Amino acid sequence: MKIVRHVAPDMRQALRAVREQLGEEAVILSSRRTPQGVEITAAVDFDAGKLEEAAAVPLALPADSARSPAPSAAAVPVSESSPSASPVATLAPLFEPQAPVATEAMGQELQSLRRMLETQLAQLAWNDRTRRAPVHTELLRELTEIGIARDLADHIVGQLDERVDLTQGRRFAIAGLSQYLLVTGDRWLDTGGRVAFVGAAGVGKTTLLAKLAVRWILRHGPNDLALVASDTVRIGAQDQMQALGQLLGVPVHVPESFEALPELLARLERHRLVLIDTPGSSLRDAQLAMRLAVLANCGSKLETALVLAASTQAGALEEAVQRFRPANPPCCLLTKVDEAASLGGALSVLIRARLPLAYTSDGQRVPEDLRPARSLELVSLAVRLARTSGAAADEDLLRRRFGRLSHATT
Ligand SMILES: Nc1nc2c(ncn2[C@@H]2O[C@H](COP(=O)(O)OP(=O)(O)O)[C@@H](O)[C@H]2O)c(=O)[nH]1
Ligand SMILES: [Mg+2]
């Protein structure tokens, strides 16, 4: 562990000096005001490994072996069958098992000490940042309240000029988010296509398919439309599709197995719009990889559309995006927007994955509750939701997220 002390006219300069000397990993051990300004004591390199090495050396050594550079096992004979009169032989087994436990406890203590110091450091840095750039930190707070991910919020606010006021900053942040959120606009309903809806069970795949089918028929009539029911997993999924087909007067095709889907699609060439319902997959779905491979190998004519529910937590959405990536979905659809308490997390996931959004669904009504995605509209909705829910970013969270030494000194 390396410890240094710095005296500087103010905290900012002191922090910068610490960072320059010890790097980003430095932690502040103490700070106090002095006649010259601020004095900071900081340290780097808490090395629990070193402690363990030290503890591995036997605590009790024979007097004459204390000078030998490397204690060897032979120097401390311990044998149950031949108890020795030497106190070392009897003490050694007692100390040996205890040493790692003690080291572990010390390591944990150091860890918690480090965390505590880091929290203090983050607090100092965040306070410093708030003082120097109040508009920027206020925007970070507001973006956090909307649910925008840390890196994205940082990225957007980081581009702001130092002299902007809060209104300009807000406008810039909303415009930035809208620009980063990719949308495809109205899709399939004008020109047709072949679309397989994939996603977790219950996110609203079949409902979306029904909404698109009804809208297509309202525009073009039923002749060019085909429905494919490849969900043979869930009980009732086939019935649901057959009922929809009957209602709309459109044939419903069922492949013999999921692997037979490409063959079936080849037979449906003449249809301008083919909508394919697929089984919802759970986390441990052993068949999912096979199904995604079948979809990915269907050729460029087939689009896989990932269906995500806005009411799902951002972490689970991120996981779903990763899980369905093997099918190369060129776009996604966001359902249950009406049920979402916050929208920033979902939008952050889409922005980070650079996954364009085609439609959003905000209710169960077929076909009314479906809209072509518009980015500014969605970002504005995210802001409204945060306002109406009275979301308030916890001060502690803000410090942990954005209070880093690098910001305090740049
Ligand atoms: N509130 C709300 N419910 C929806 C929405 N989309 C679908 N649902 C409901 O979610 C449930 C599951 O939908 P379903 O289409 O069967 O999901 P699937 O398992 O992915 O095919 C049904 O009760 C739907 O009515 C939506 O946008 N908002
Ligand atoms: Mg379904």
- pLDDT in the model for residue 254: 94
- pLDDT in the model for residue 88: 39
| 124 and 242 assigned to the same domain | no
Q: Is the CB of 362 under 6 A from ligand 1?
A: yes
Q: Is the CB of 12 under 6 A from ligand 1?
A: no
- pLDDT in the model for residue 314: 95
3-state class of 37 per DSSP? Answer: strand
| 125 and 10 assigned to the same domain | yes
Q: Whose CA is nearest to atom 7 of ligand 1?
A: 204
The percent helix, strand, coil of the chain (3-state, each to 5) is: 50, 15, 35
| 235 and 103 assigned to the same domain | no
Q: Is the CB of 239 under 6 A from ligand 1?
A: no
> Whole-angstrom Cα distance, residue 147 to residue 169?
17
| 117 and 251 assigned to the same domain | no
Asked whether residue 407 is assigned to any structural domain, the reply reads: no
Q: Is the CB of 368 under 6 A from ligand 1?
A: no
Q: Is the CB of 364 under 6 A from ligand 1?
A: yes
Q: Please, what's the b/e burial string for 255-264 (b: 16 or more CB within 10 A of its CB; e: otherwise)?
A: beebeebeeb
Helix (H), strand (E) at residue 206: helix 205-220
Asked whether residue 402 is assigned to any structural domain, the reply reads: no
Q: How far is the CA of 54 from the centre of ligand 1 (A)?
A: 61
> Whole-angstrom Cα distance, residue 199 to residue 320?
7
Question: Where do the H-state alpha helices sit in 73-165?
Answer: 87-132, 134-146, 150-158
| 229 and 357 assigned to the same domain | yes
**Residue range(s) defining the domain that contains residue 34:** 1-59+93-132
| 226 and 348 assigned to the same domain | yes
Specify the number of domains making up the chain: 2
Asked whether residue 180 is assigned to any structural domain, the reply reads: no
> What are the C-alpha distances in Å from 112 to residues 47, 105, 396?
13, 11, 17
| 347 and 211 assigned to the same domain | yes
Asked whether residue 321 is assigned to any structural domain, the reply reads: yes
Kindly identify the ligand whose nearest atom is closest to the C-alpha of 281. Answer: 1
> Whole-angstrom Cα distance, residue 329 to residue 342?
25
Q: Whose CA is nearest to atom 27 of ligand 1?
A: 336
Asked whether residue 65 is assigned to any structural domain, the reply reads: no
Average pLDDT per run of 10 along the chain, which is 410 residues long?
80 80 74 81 60 38 38 35 40 48 81 86 83 91 95 94 92 96 93 95 95 97 95 79 94 93 94 94 81 89 96 95 94 97 97 97 97 97 91 80 56
> Whole-angstrom Cα distance, residue 56 to residue 99?
7
| 336 and 198 assigned to the same domain | yes
| 116 and 240 assigned to the same domain | no
Q: ∠241-244-245 over CA atoms, to 5°?
A: 85
| 126 and 225 assigned to the same domain | no
Phi-psi region of 232 (alpha: psi -120 to 50; beta: other; left: phi over 0): alpha
> Whole-angstrom Cα distance, residue 19 to residue 343?
37
Residue type, 209: L
CB 209, CB 227: distance < 8 Å? yes
Q: Is the CB of 363 under 6 A from ligand 1?
A: yes
| 118 and 210 assigned to the same domain | no
274 — phi, psi (to 5°)? -120, 120
Position in ligand 1 atom list of the atom nearest CA 209: 15
Q: ∠273-278-283 over CA atoms, to 5°?
A: 145
Mutate to test the pocket of ligand 1, among 238, 239, 362, 364 (most ligand atoms within 8 A of CB): 364
- pLDDT in the model for residue 100: 61
DSSP state of 335: E
Indicate the pairing of strand 273-277 with strand 225-229.
Answer: parallel
Q: How far is the CA of 367 from the centre of ligand 1 (A)?
A: 13
Supply the pTM of this predicted model. Answer: 0.72
Q: Whose CA is nearest to atom 22 of ligand 1?
A: 204
Neighbours of 272 (CB within 10 A): 15
Asked whether residue 244 is assigned to any structural domain, the reply reads: yes
Mutate to test the pocket of ligand 1, among 198, 206, 207 (most ligand atoms within 8 A of CB): 207
| 213 and 361 assigned to the same domain | yes
Tokens, residue 396: 């502690």
CATH number reported for the structural domain that contains residue 278 in this entry: 3.40.50.300
Asked whether residue 73 is assigned to any structural domain, the reply reads: no
Asked whether residue 224 is assigned to any structural domain, the reply reads: yes
| Sheet of 2-8, strand order | 2-8, 37-44, 27-34
- pLDDT in the model for residue 1: 66
